[in-house]
Amino acid sequence: MKRPSPTIEDIIIPQDKQDKLDIMLKSNRSRAMKDLAIRNAAGGRCHRCELIPTKIVKYHLEGITLAERYCDSCFNQIKGEIA
């Protein structure tokens, strides 16, 4: 089944939050703590590579919205598929 064309939004992380997140991700905290930090800052990890996402791709289906997040490099790879 072909998906409908999605809407694309930027994920804006304020610089101070981004700085804290970078420090956190370089630390030896647990995976769960890092997951939570990324979720707080960006809503979740990149759908493909699990890095911090910069774009949110929303598919508006019948009554529900399916949101997928992508980092810059993954977004560039999927851009052609979703246009």
Q: Which residues between 29 and 58 bind Zn ion (CB under 5 A)?
A: 46, 48-49, 51
Torsion of CA 26, 29, 35, 38, to 10 degrees: -40
Nearer to Zn ion, 24 or 78 (CB): 78
Cβ 3 to Zn ion, closest distance in Å?
19
Instruction: Name residues whose C-beta falls within 8 Å of residue 42's C-beta, 6 or more positions apart in sequence.
Output: 11, 13, 52, 53, 69
* Residue count, binding to Zn ion (CB under 5 A): 6
**Site of interaction with Zn ion (CB under 5 A):** 46, 48-49, 51, 71, 74
